[in-house]
Structure 1
């Protein structure tokens, strides 16, 4: 990626309204991508790193099309073939479900969700940061919406698409989400 693009993206990732979706999150995602590569997954690491830089490049809590806009930004800013491929990978983060056979998209989704499988203290900071990004939402509505999102993850057979990610983060992610759902007042399926 050209240094001028990286600089422009770094400015976006440093916007003051980003409590979770900021530079620290980007760094965690890139580290998770590199960790999955180090554990033996064979994928286009540079393309996934580039997709990580673009995946939340546009982040406005008042809009529902951030992923699409971030993917379109990759298409505009990167060379045609690269931009299209990065956009495809970024689009998988909308629901964190990679298309069948798309290992690069699976790795980015897993890396993006890796915070779910972090230690409880880090997870709690993440949950507080998500709430801080959404202070405009009344508490009862936030609890309802956040519970719905977490329950969708909880209902999945696996949070993570790749075996190494499951081995690293699945157990903690289940525990963290169960704990947060309880704190939100939502009944938890066991």
Structure 2
């Protein structure tokens, strides 16, 4: 599914099949690295399924799709600059496709917004960050699988370090006036998300 979506997207901007194939293989290989237990192709698929629900509300669908494919391009659990590096990669690719600089800047803004998930003046950004966090408001069995996979990505850290850091992150979201910035995601996921987050905190605090 993802390859078909990517192919349809890229062919709007180049007819070079070799370029298309190289870009897709790069994305597929990068997101299939053995250290990726959550930030992988399955995450991209889930993100797409959530974004498609609000496609009619998104102004620049193509740029949102580019952000989808590149927002976790760089992922290292021991680094703090993953979003910045991923945004740089997206800018490089979009510039190579001769995409308008303002649209390239939007793609970068969307990716950088996934670092703190704060509200933006641009609703395309808000829809993307909301979809990126949609796992938080999923049914408990999916949420549980999510946080267990995140723990695997941070396997380098002992429990006492990981648990304290994770609790801090979870409280950051709970303390937000609203985790989800758009009506669609807020109405459907907000209550369940805060319940899931608190339940994970309780487990980590034992």
TM over 0.5: yes
Q: C-alpha separation between the residues in 2 aligned to 1:133 and 1:109?
A: 21
> Mind listing any 5+ residue stretches in structure 2 that lack a counterpart?
1-8, 11-19
Summarize deviations over 1:117-170 as a string: whole Å, max 9, x none: 000000000010010000101101111000000001000111101000111211
Please tell me whether residue 41 in structure 1 is matched to residue 57 in structure 2: yes
1:156 to 157, 176, 195: 176
Larger radius of gyration: 2
Please tell me whether residue 88 in structure 1 is matched to residue 109 in structure 2: yes
Please tell me whether residue 66 in structure 1 is matched to residue 86 in structure 2: no
Q: C-alpha separation between the residues in 2 aligned to 1:43 and 1:181?
A: 37
Aligned ranges 1:6-17 → 2 under 5 Å: 6-17=24-35
TM-score, structure 2 as length reference: 0.84
Asked whether the 8 Å contact 1:34–1:45 carries over to 2, the reply is no
Q: Which stretch has the larger CA shift, 74-83 or 174-183?
A: 74-83
TM-score, structure 1 as length reference: 0.91
Q: C-alpha separation between the residues in 2 aligned to 1:77 and 1:126?
A: 29
> Mind listing any 5+ residue stretches in structure 1 that lack a counterpart?
none
Structure 1 ranges of 4+ moved more than 6 A? none
Asked whether the 8 Å contact 1:33–1:45 carries over to 2, the reply is no
Q: C-alpha separation between the residues in 2 aligned to 1:151 and 1:142?
A: 14
Summarize deviations over 1:11-56 as a string: whole Å, max 9, x none: 211111100001101111111111122xx52432221111011110
1:138 to 134, 153, 158: 158
